[in-house]
Amino acid sequence: MIRPKLVFVFALAGFFCAQLTVAFPSPQASRSESDRTGYVGDARCFSCHRQQSQSYQHTPHHLTSQLATPDSVLGSFRRDNNSLRIVDSTDQAEAQLQFVMEAKKDGFFETASSGWNPDTYQRTERIDLVTGSGVRGQTYLYWQKNRLFELPVSYWSDGHRWINSPGYVDGTADFSRPVNPACLECHATYIRALSNDPRTNRYDRESLVPGISCESCHGAGANHVRLRAAHETESKNSSHDDILNPVKFSRDRQVDLCAECHNGIQREALAPTFSYVPGRPLSEYFRQLPSPEVEHPDVHGNQVGLLQRSKCYRSSPQMSCSTCHDVHTTRQSAESYSLKCQSCHTWQSCGMSKKIGHQVANDCINCHMPVEETNVIVSQTAGQVVHAKMRNHWIKVYASARAQGTEGTAPR
């Protein structure tokens, strides 16, 4: 008799962003949950900061989590591109696990099925929440009462296709991965967890504020809005220090703000989720754990750790993420960043310029911040392995770049 091989695995939590190390809160962390009074939402900033607000709407930060809508779900529901078939190579005739993604009147759904009639197994869940703006891909989440879970099939932008969610075992249909608060701490503005256990996936659903918002980086805005509204006629440049402006933080605190989400995932939470206040030392909220990723940096999500190894950073007390990035606007072309390098270096200072001349000026980053495959975002799908590609933030001379010059044009 042919046995259906669909396995619903009950695995440990695992993420698009690989394994997150979650520990129990240490004693000093038993502070109460974060206080959300004083937060007003992005709409309130729009009237006075139209320029920042308008361009911010299109940034990956703003779009990094959304409710599922025809606009937010990037995966295809067209009949010719809405399934993922996983054939077990050991026994092709027998087991075939298939996922089908469908748009229906009442929402978007992922269905897993396998086996032969009448021994078929099937499970359908709705796509409720979208994580990822889609630069690389999107992972979908679903609600079961007040519990939040990850769905087994993700969207991958490269090739506009469906893949197994990163970290999932190929050939299984796992609907049981809990989504814990740390995941949303990096991908949303707020959600209230119903327990202090960092492994919980029970939430007050109504409390979700999707996307990263102005106040994620500027802190609660109610005071500022009230005072500024009352003094609208006052001189524009009067500073009341009623809202946080990272440019006024020390360099370390500026970088801490970005490190809240861009310093990799090997860390232990010391305080409740969503309690970090920009301007405070991040070390009060997280303890970085020693890990192979830190010893031998991988490119995923660890831009802070990598940049900090660069001579540029170590020799320039003012250099921060904002030297190159304006988070209020959408991405620039990769080449445009070469101008940032040239605010501190002349193109002639590059040894390679002796070989290939002014040509070096167009693309400093291609040689000194190469794009690499990460081993941290990996999906195994139908026997194929998909790696995410990331820009290495360790600015230095790479061996591969020396080779590039030899293929270049004649000297001088």
Contacts with ligand HEC in 85-104 (CB under 6 A)? Answer: none
For ligand HEC, what does the binding mask look like between residues 121 and 160, x meaning CB under 6 A?
Answer: ----------xxxxxxxxx----------x----------
Q: Are 221 and 47 in contact (CB under 8 A)?
A: no
Nearest CA-CA partner of 112 in 6, 191, 208, 185: 6
Please pick, from the candidates 161, 192, 328, 387, the single residue that binds ligand HEC as defined by CB under 6 A.
328
Listed ranges 71-79, 121-129, 240-248, 379-387: which one lies at the site for ligand HEC (CB under 6 A)? 240-248
- Residue 114 or 149: which CB sits closer to ligand HEC? 149
Residue from 168, 163, 172 nearest 84 by CA: 163
178 contacts ligand HEC (rule: CB under 6 A)? no
- Smallest separation (angstroms) from ligand HEC to the CB of 310: 7
Contacts with 304 (C-beta within 8 Å, 6 or more apart), sequence order:
255, 258, 259, 262, 263, 321, 393
Contact between 47 and ligand HEC by CB under 6 A: the answer reads yes
Q: Does 265 bind ligand HEC (CB under 6 A)?
A: yes
Q: Does 73 bind ligand HEC (CB under 6 A)?
A: no
Closest CB 31 distance from ligand HEC, rounded Å: 19
Q: Which stretch binds ligand HEC (CB under 6 A): 89-97, 108-116, 119-127, 395-403?
A: 395-403
For tokens 């992972």, name the residue. 139
CA nearest 253: which of 298, 295, 297, 285?
A: 285
Among 6, 29, 59, 167, binds ligand HEC (CB under 6 A): 59
Q: How far is CA 326 from CA 96, 320, 329, in A?
A: 47, 11, 6
Beta carbons of 180 and 22 less than 8 angstroms apart:
yes
Q: How far is the CB of 294 from ligand HEC (least distance, A)?
A: 14
Residue 361 binds to ligand HEC (criterion: CB under 6 A): yes
Q: How far apart are CA 394 and CA 323, in angstroms?
A: 15
Q: Which amino acid makes up residue 111?
A: T
How many residues are recorded in the chain? 412
163 binds ligand HEC (CB under 6 A): no
Q: How many alpha carbons fall within 13 Å on the CB side of residue 210? A: 18
Q: Kindly identify the residues of this chain, within the stretch 330-359, that bind ligand HEC according to CB under 6 A.
A: 331, 334, 337-338, 340-345, 347, 349-352
Member of 92, 117, 315, 406 binding ligand HEC (CB under 6 A): 315
In this complex, which beta carbon is closest to ligand HEC, that of residue 86 or of residue 243? 243
- Residues in the interface with ligand HEC (CB under 6 A) total 111
180 closest CA partner among 162, 195, 169: 195
Rule CB under 6 A: which of 194-223 touch ligand HEC? 212, 214-218, 221
296 binds ligand HEC (CB under 6 A): no
C-beta of 86 vs 319, nearer to ligand HEC: 319
CB of 387 to ligand HEC, least distance (A): 13
Query: Residues 29, 44, 173, 269: which binds ligand HEC (CB under 6 A)?
Result: 44
Q: What is the smallest separation between the CB atom of 125 and ligand HEC, expressed in angstroms? A: 15
Is residue 246 near ligand HEC by the rule CB under 6 A?
A: yes
Q: What is the largest CA-CA distance in the chain?
A: 82
| Shortest spacing between CB 79 and ligand HEC, in angstroms | 25
243 lies in the binding site for ligand HEC (CB under 6 A): yes
Residue 364 near residue 346, CB atoms below 8 Å:
no
By C-beta, is 31 or 231 nearer to ligand HEC? 231
Angle at 212 between CA 289 and CA 57, to 5 degrees: 145
Rounded to the nearest 10 degrees, how much is the dihedral formed by the CA atoms of 259, 260, 265, 270? 130
Min dist CB 178 to ligand HEC, Å, is: 9
Minimum gap (Å) between residue 96 Cβ and ligand HEC: 27
User: What are the distances in angstroms from CA 174 to CA 88, 111, 123, 378?
Assistant: 16, 11, 10, 16
- The encoded tokens of residue 110 equal 């992922």
Residues 209 and 231: beta-carbon distance below 8 Å: no
Query: What six digits make up the tokens of 242?
Result: 């009623």
